[in-house]
Amino acid sequence: MINRGIGLKLILLILTSVTLIFFVIFGYNYVVSRDLIIKTAEENARNLAKATVNRIDTVLISVEKIPKNLACFMEFFFYEGGQIIDLVGSVVESNPEIFGSTIAFEPYSYNRNSLFFAPYYYRNNGKIDFSYIPYDYFYWDWYQIPKQLNRPTWSEPYFDEGAGNIVMSTYSVPFYRTLLGERKMMGIVTADVSLAWLQEIAGSIKIAQTGYGFLISKNGTFITHPDSSLVMNETIFSAAEERNSMELRELGREMIKGNSGFVPFTSLVTGKRCWMVYAPLASNGWSFAALFPQDELMEDITRLNHIVISLGIAGFIFLFAVIILIAGSITRPLRALSKASDIIATGNLDVELPVIKTRDEVRKLADSFSYMKTSLTRYIKELTETTAARQRIESELQIARDIQMGILPKVFPPFPNRTEFDIYAVLEPAKEVGGDLYDFFFLDNDNLCIAVGDVSGKGVPASLFMAITMTLIKAKATKGLPIGEILSMVNNNLSQDNPSLMFVTLFFSIFNISTGEIEYCNGGHNPPYLIRSGGEVKPLETTNGIALGVMEDFSYQSKKIVLEKGDMVFLFTDGVTEAMNEKDELFSEERLEREIARLKEKPLKEMTSGMMEEIKNFCQDAPQTDDITMMILKYFGK
Amino acid sequence: MRIIKTCLFLIFLIIASDALANDIRLQKTSFVPQWVPQAQFAGYYIADELGFYRKHGINLSMINGGPDNPPSELLKNGLAQFATLWLSSGIQMRAEGIKVVNISQIMQRSSLMLVAKKSSNIKTPADMNGKKVGLWGPDFQIQPKAFFKKYNLDIKEIRQSFSVNLFLRDGVDVASAMWFNEYHTILNSGLNPDELKTFFFHEYGLNFPEDGIYTLENTFKNYPGLCRAFVDASIEGWKYAFAHPDEALDIVLKNLHKAHIPATRVHQKWMLMRMKDLIFPDDSDVPMGQLVPEDYYRVASILKENGLITQVPDFKSFYQKCSSHGDK
């Protein structure tokens, strides 16, 4: 579970972000430092090329001056006799950098008899030798090119077998005379120089481990190169052809054009990628190049990069471990808490909560959790106690109710041997202990005492008050007093010592079963209905009595009616007429009267149960808020 | 026992006679190409190296040609029995009375050409008017001069050495070049083909087939078998060279090193490829070794027009078809 949770999220998000950041920084650093190194390398390379080219040019230019001076001399001075031969000799002798020199004349220009004339002094094993150039030299490059171009030139390098197979180059300067107003070339002054020192200069260039310098001629011929098979044998273009490299060929063309540059290049020796700097010699247009192996120049930065990447990987692993630790420290207590809460959910509040040592949000959560657990425990304890108390009270109330109900006569028919009348009563108590009452009992052989009442309020006080009322009625009625007096006495007794100002409405009557006469007294109660056998239904006239317990010394008046055979009296409490449905409508007297008229032919028991059913239909799901009491007396006569 | 002895004796006889016969049968002869060893003569060097001459009963000694050993001289003096010569040189020798015969015309096409830099604005023959044109020695001037005549050009003739530096340095506007040699040297001095304008003489009605194999008429009359064997072996050498260029180049380079001549493989390779183009031109179906009369008469008549010969030698006595290779 943890792997899909906070831990995994942390690892993925943080490590991805960190890796991204690392690579951005690393990449930027790499690019910048590489560019810096390339820039430095280019600067160094250009400086090296410039210095080397200058070194070579210095020598070549100093060599150039000698034949130039000689040519100048030849233009202005007569060269009769052997003097110029000696001059050439002394030039060679006094200029150690010059290997050989000649003044070669145009055909018949030295004198009319000689087709060629070219006295040549040259070094030979440390001494200076002399000879005339023994061949038709007019068509040789060293002679013909400066002649055709009318300017001094350096020849392409060549092998001089006579001088011991050393690479040479000849600087040739044409000289002129003005004859008959026409400037005419008379010959060429030359100086041969060994290029061995070039090999030394270029060969001594070592860049990093495998970098090197090389020199190519105007034709692209390698004059110096670490690969000796190329020297004086291949041109940069034949090398390019051999390697099938247009890149090399183009580079060679740039070089022999006298351009300079700094370009990527693959070494002909090592095959390594290099940077190559190239620059032309000012004197003869040859091109010097030096190779800077990229990997060797980049060695430091490559090493640095390796270290940085290693550090990055180590950091990555470290971070990984740290995140796992942190994630663990968060999720472990969370998981423990979650487990504990699962147990708590099953109701076991005694479970031990995990101990959190850190001081963070998890600790706070654990603390809240612990507080919740304590609160829950306390609350449940209190709830248990309260419930127990309520249950006790409720059971006591139930007992009270049972007692209350026990007071009421409940056996029907109550007087099976009296055929003169029938009586039936029902009390449907509401949830709480209510205050309805009814009673009937014989005072003597003929007189039946009937009472129906309703105590104000509900609950235990009401039921107690009801019990008192019933006891008082029974006590007073049996004394044989007039009915109004009985009620007044009961009223007085109830009114005295009635601090809670309770009261009871009461219909009280005495029915003479012999005569069918009923004397009644109504103390603020709903007037019962008299149902004549003929079908007439009407409420009994009021006696203008007030509810009992309200006012002491009230004098109750009584009235009398006579029941004929088949007449009935329907007594009830306000629980019937004030039964309420969900729309807050009352059952009402009208509905009651209508129902009485409908049910009057039925036996008493069915009448009450029919009425009760009708009330329930009316109320539907609305709770019963008050006791419902109904009592029916039916007179059959003697 | 007897049978075994007889067998052994017979075997001995066979071995001995074979060895003896080899020595006797191999005819000693010598050959000189026009120039020092290079791919221009690859076929001969390959035939020598791979024993094709021996196979044809020849014990050949190869002489290096060049300025010091002009083949025409060696042939004339009997110092070499076989030599390669340009067709024009062969006709000139014959016309001069030196009885040489062409026993095989190897190259069908002239590789001599003129080349100019496009930067000098030479695009047509007419553009050469008044320009400096580098020309080699007499043998190499016949076609250019006929060319100038044909296009009525007045050029400044500059004698050209065997380097192309004068041309590269702009000392001349137009240079002579052999397609298989100097032209490639120019390319490998940094000039691109698209920067050059070429004038191949064979494209201007002046095709002079170059290298052919020559011998003296007497040699041909006395040793026709030898001549046939030499030509067959040489043609076999050429065919092998074109079929196995890398091996051929190895052999050519070996001979170059032996002669202490600096050489580059790419240059020799170019030369070998061009030789193939010249020996087997794409637009020709002349069998190898055959001299076509039209070519002969074209060359001869131009030589005569230019006063280099007074009379055109008889084609039938000049060319002696001398090969069992009739196919291309």
Q: Per the omega criterion (within 30 degrees of 0), is the bond before A413 cis?
A: yes
Name A521's bridge partners: A508
How many residues are given for chain A? Answer: 638
Residue B6: band (very low, low, confident or very high) from pLDDT cuts 50, 70, 90: low
**pLDDT value, residue B286:** 87
d(CA A291, CA A267): 7
d(CA A570, CA A424): 10
Q: Which amino acid belongs to residue A52?
A: T
Inter-chain CB proximity A235 and B188 less than 8 Å: yes
- pLDDT tens digit string along B172-231? 999 999 999 999 999 999 999 999 999 999 999 999 999 999 999 999 999 999 999 999
Chain B: residue nearest A248 by CA? Answer: B190
Q: How many other C-beta atoms lie within 10 A of the C-beta of residue B163?
A: 19
Torsion of CA A253, A256, A257, A263, to 10 degrees: 60
Buried b (16+ CB within 10 A) or exposed e, A3-26: eeeebeebbeebeeebeeebeeee
Q: Which of A254, A289, A278, A304 is nearest to A37 (CA)?
A: A304
**Owner of token pair 């030139």:** A153
**pLDDT value, residue A217:** 94
**pLDDT value, residue B3:** 58
Contact A581, A626 (CB under 8 A): no
Chain A: residue nearest B166 by CA? Answer: A145
**pLDDT value, residue A144:** 93
**pLDDT value, residue A4:** 60
pLDDT at B41 over 90: yes
3-state secondary structure A181-215: CEEEEEEEEEEEEECHHHHHHHHCCEECCCEEEEE
Buried b (16+ CB within 10 A) or exposed e, A166-182: ebbbbbbbbbeeeeeee
- pLDDT tens digit string along B113-154? 999 999 999 999 999 999 999 999 888 999 999 999 999 999
**pLDDT value, residue B7:** 54
**Owner of token pair 């040592």:** A357
User: What is the nearest CA distance from B102 to chain A, expressed in angstroms?
Assistant: 33
Of A145, A156, A235, the CB nearest to B171: A145
**pLDDT value, residue A134:** 82
**pLDDT value, residue B158:** 94
- Cβ neighbors of A289 (< 8 A, separation 6 or more) are A49, A213, A214, A215, A216, A255, A276, A277, A278, A279
- Cβ neighbors of A511 (< 8 A, separation 6 or more) are A421, A447, A448, A449, A450, A517, A518, A563, A633
**pLDDT value, residue B22:** 45
**Element spanning B242, H or E:** helix B224-243
Residue B12: band (very low, low, confident or very high) from pLDDT cuts 50, 70, 90: low
Pairing status of strand B82-86 against strand B27-32: parallel
Q: How many other C-beta atoms lie within 10 A of the C-beta of residue A530?
A: 18
Inter-chain CB proximity B163 and A232 less than 8 Å: no
Chain A: residue nearest B163 by CA? Answer: A141
The CA-atom distances, in angstroms, between A31 and each of A302, A315, A574, B209 are: 12, 22, 101, 63
**pLDDT value, residue A162:** 67
Determine the distance from the C-alpha atom of residue A218 to the mean position of all C-alpha atoms in its chain, rounded to a whole number: 68
Residue A422: φ, ψ to 5°: -130, 145
Name B24's bridge partners: none
Structure tokens at B31: 């050959």
Q: Please check whether residue B188 touches A, CB under 8 A.
A: yes
Inter-chain CB proximity B171 and A144 less than 8 Å: yes
Mark the ranges of chain A whose per-residue pLDDT is less than 70.
1-4, 79-81, 162-164, 431-433
d(CA B16, CA B67): 45
For a pLDDT cut of 90, what percent of chain B falls above it?
A: 78
Residue A213: φ, ψ to 5°: -115, 155
d(CA B207, CA B143): 8
Query: Which spans in A243-349 are helix H?
Result: 246-256, 294-297, 299-345
Buried b (16+ CB within 10 A) or exposed e, A250-274: ebbbbbbeeebebeebebbebebeb
Q: Please check whether residue B76 touches A, CB under 8 A.
A: no
d(CA A432, CA A397): 8
Chain B: residue nearest A285 by CA? Answer: B169
Q: Please check whether residue B56 touches A, CB under 8 A.
A: no
Residue B20: band (very low, low, confident or very high) from pLDDT cuts 50, 70, 90: very low
Q: Write down the ipTM of this complex.
A: 0.86
A-B contacts at Cβ under 8 angstroms: 69
**Owner of token pair 């006094």:** A94
- 3-class DSSP assignment, residue A333: helix
Q: Please check whether residue B119 touches A, CB under 8 A.
A: no
The residue-averaged pLDDT of B15-28 equals: 56
User: What is the nearest CA distance from A248 to chain B, expressed in angstroms?
Assistant: 11
d(CA A2, CA B274): 78
Classify A480 in phi/psi space as left (phi over 0), alpha (psi -120 to 50) or beta.
left
> In A, what residues contact B, Cβ < 8 A?
138-141, 144-145, 148-149, 153, 155-156, 159, 218-220, 232-238, 241-242, 249, 252-253, 256
Q: Which amino acid belongs to residue B272?
A: L
Average pLDDT, chain B: 89
User: What is the nearest CA distance from A93 to chain B, expressed in angstroms?
Assistant: 30
Classify A459 in phi/psi space as left (phi over 0), alpha (psi -120 to 50) or beta.
left
Q: How many other C-beta atoms lie within 10 A of the C-beta of residue A543?
A: 20
Residues of A in contact with B188 (CB under 8 A): 220, 235, 237-238, 241
Q: How many other C-beta atoms lie within 10 A of the C-beta of residue A381?
A: 11
**pLDDT value, residue A458:** 76
**pLDDT value, residue B304:** 93
User: What is the nearest CA distance from A262 to chain B, expressed in angstroms?
Assistant: 20
Greater confidence (A538 vs B324) lies with: A538
Residue B96: φ, ψ to 5°: -80, -5
Contact A528, A507 (CB under 8 A): yes
Contact B255, B37 (CB under 8 A): yes
- pLDDT tens digit string along B179-188? 999 999 999 9
Question: Contacts for A96-100 with beta carbons within 8 Å, 24 or more apart?
Answer: A97/A59, A97/A62, A97/A63, A97/A193, A98/A63, A98/A66, A98/A191, A98/A192, A98/A193, A99/A123, A99/A160, A99/A163, A99/A168, A99/A192, A99/A193, A99/A194, A100/A163, A100/A190, A100/A191, A100/A192
∠ CA A99-A105-A107, rounded to 5°: 140
d(CA A281, CA A278): 10
Of A155, A242, A253, the CB nearest to B190: A253
Q: Which of residues 231-250 of B touch A (CB under 8 A)?
A: none
Q: Which of B291, B312, B56, B269 is nearest to B181 (CA)?
A: B269
Chain A: residue nearest B187 by CA? Answer: A237
d(CA B278, CA B109): 5
Give DSSP secondary structure letters for A45-114.
HHHHHHHHHHHHHHHHHHHHHHHHHHHHHHHHS---TTHHHHHHHHHHHH-TT--EEEEEEPTTTS-TT-
Contact A591, A618 (CB under 8 A): yes
Task: Tell me the whole-structure pTM to 2 decimals.
Answer: 0.68
- 3-class DSSP assignment, residue B246: helix
Sign of the C-alpha dihedral computed for residues A139, A284, A69 and A94 taken in this order: negative
Chain A: residue nearest B161 by CA? Answer: A139
Contact B116, B65 (CB under 8 A): no
